[in-house]
Amino acid sequence: MSDALILDTIEAFLARDVAPHVHALEKSDTWPAEIVARMRELGLFGATIGPQYGGLGLPCATYAAIVERIARVWMSLTGIFNSHLIMAAVVERQGTEAQKRDFLPRFAAGELRGGLALTEPDCGTDLQAIRTTARRDGDHYVINGTKTWISNGIHGACFALLVKTDLAAEPRHRGMSLFLAEKGPGFTVGRKLEKLGYKGIDSAELVFDNFRVPANRLIGGVEGFGLKHALSGLELGRINVASRGVGIAQAALDESLRYAQLRKTFGKPIAQHQAIQLKLADMATRTEAARLLTQRAAEMYDRGVRCDMEAGMAKLFATEAALENAIEAMRVHGGYGYSTDAPVERLYRDAPLLVIGEGTNELQRIIIARQLVQRNPA
C-alpha cells in the first residue's frame, strides 16, 4: 500500500470514526474503546513492527505523517499506540529471538497492548534514580516498587518495565535492566491520574508488590543494559512527540485561519487586519519548520543511523511550536477561544504536555549541545 493510500485511509478513519466523537469523549475523559478497536483493525498497533512479525513495517517517516494527522484531530489517540510501539521497538531491536517470536506478533495484532513503565514518583528525567528493584529468585525475578504517569496503565496489559537489578553498580546505569511485565498477581494499578489535558488516554500509577516475572522476560537476556535499551526506544518516541507537535501546531493554524476569515470587526474579516496577519504568518512558518525537522529525524531513523540529536531538535522545536501556536490561536479567537466549546481550548490544554513528555525540552537542549560538541571536536 502506498503512503498516499495509507494516509487517505487514516484521513477517512478520522473523519468518520473520530472527529464526531472527540468533544464528548474529551469532556467525559472516557477511554475510546470503539476507536481503539478500529485502530486495531487498521493495524496501527503494528505500524512500525516488521512484516515478519505480522506488523505493517512502515518507515518512520510514514509513521510520523500518520501521527501528525491523528494529532490534528485528537492527540490522545497517538499516545495509545506510541508507548506501545516504543515497547515493541525495544523488543525488536534488543530482545532475544524467543522474545521477538513470542511477543511481537501479539503486539502487532493489538492482542497484547501496553507501553513503557519508566517514570517513578521521585524520578522522571533522571532515570538512573529509580527505586523499583528486581531480585533473582530461581527462574524468576521478584519485583517491588511503584511507577507513575504510565500511559495505557489501566487498559494496557504488558509493559517494558525498568528496574534496578544491582543496587551497588557504578555507574548506576550498569545496574539497571528492562523486563517485559504482563499484569498478574502482585502487579496492580494504584490509581488513575487526572490531567489538565490529554484526556481519554489512561495515565496511571502502577504498583509492584513481590511481583514475580519469569527470568526469560529480561529483554536481551542479560542484566545491566536496561537504561541503554530504554533510551534506544526513545528516539522513536521523540519523533512521535515531535509529530504530535506538528499536528497540534497545524490544527491551531487551521482553526485560526478559518475563524479569522469568518469573524468580522470594524467592517471586515479580522484576517484583513495586519495584527492578525502577522500571527498567522508566524504560525504557518513555525509549523512548516517543525514538520521539516521532524521529517529529517524520521528519515535518519529509517537509515538506521544515530539520530538522538536530530530527534531532540525536532522534539524541541515542534513542541514549542505547538505551544506557541495554541496560545496564538487562543488570541486570534478572543473570548470564543476560551470557551470549552472551541477546539482551540483543547489544543491549549494538550500542547503543554509535549514540552514535558519523552524528556523535557530542557533535557533536549542538553542532548543537542553534547552531540554538537561530540560531532565537532575542536
Q: What is the pLDDT of residue 248?
A: 98
Question: Rounded to the nearest 5°, which phi and psi values hold at 274?
Answer: -60, -35
Integer angstrom CA distances of residue 30 from 10, 77, 133, 164, 196 = 22, 12, 33, 34, 14
The CB density around residue 59, as the number of other CB atoms within 10 Å, is 15
Q: Is 358 a catalytic residue?
A: yes
Residue 189, SS3? Answer: strand
User: Do 245 and 318 meet the contact criterion of CB atoms below 8 Å apart?
Assistant: yes
Q: How does pLDDT run along the chain (378 residues), one tens digit per residue?
A: 788 899 999 999 999 999 999 999 999 999 999 999 999 999 999 999 999 999 999 999 999 999 999 999 999 999 999 999 999 999 999 999 999 999 999 999 999 999 999 999 988 778 888 999 999 999 999 999 999 999 999 999 999 999 999 999 999 989 999 999 999 999 999 999 999 999 999 999 999 999 999 999 999 999 999 999 998 888 899 999 999 999 999 999 999 999 999 999 999 999 999 999 999 999 999 999 999 999 999 999 999 998 999 999 999 999 999 999 999 999 999 999 999 989 999 999 999 999 998 889 999 999 999 999 999 999
Cα–Cα distance between 223 and 94 in angstroms, integer? 12
DSSP-derived secondary structure letter, 297: H
Cα–Cα distance between 275 and 265 in angstroms, integer? 13
Residue 351, amino acid = A
Q: What is the pLDDT of residue 64?
A: 97
Q: Record the cell numbers describing residue 175, joined without a space.
A: 545496574
Cα–Cα distance between 76 and 269 in angstroms, integer? 33
Burial tier of 167 (Cβ tally within 10 Å: 0-12, 13-18, 19+) = exposed
DSSP-derived secondary structure letter, 193: P
Superfamily (CATH H level) for 3-109: Acyl-CoA dehydrogenase/oxidase, N-terminal domain (1.10.540.10)
Residue of 92, 223, 235, 358 marked catalytic: 358
Q: Record the cell numbers describing residue 368, joined without a space.
A: 543537542
Which own/partner pairs from 15-23 qualify as long-range (CB within 8 Å, at least 24 positions apart)?
18/70, 18/73, 18/74, 18/77, 19/73, 19/74, 22/73, 22/74, 22/346, 23/341
Domains 3-109 and 228-375 equal at CATH topology level? no
Q: What is the pLDDT of residue 123?
A: 84
Q: What is the pLDDT of residue 23?
A: 94
Q: What is the pLDDT of residue 259?
A: 97
Cα–Cα distance between 202 and 274 in angstroms, integer? 42
Q: Which residue has the cell 501546531?
A: 249
Whether the ω angle into residue 185 lies within 30 degrees of 0, i.e. cis, is: no
CATH code 2.40.110.10 for 114-223: yes
- Quick: pLDDT tens for 128-169: 889 999 999 999 999 999 999 999 999 999 999 999 999 999
C-alpha angle with apex 131: 174 to 153, nearest 5 degrees?
110
Cα–Cα distance between 223 and 220 in angstroms, integer? 8
Question: Rounded to the nearest 5°, which phi and psi values hold at 309?
Answer: -70, -45
What are the residue ranges spanned by the domains of the chain?
3-109, 114-223, 228-375
Q: What is the pLDDT of residue 40?
A: 97
Q: What is the pLDDT of residue 4?
A: 86
- Quick: pLDDT tens for 171-202: 998 999 999 999 999 999 999 999 999 999 99
Angle formed by the axes of helices 274-303 and 60-74, nearest 10°: 150
Superfamily (CATH H level) for 228-375: Butyryl-CoA Dehydrogenase, subunit A, domain 3 (1.20.140.10)
- Give the N- to C-terminal CA distance of the chain in Å, as an integer: 47
Q: What is the pLDDT of residue 112?
A: 98
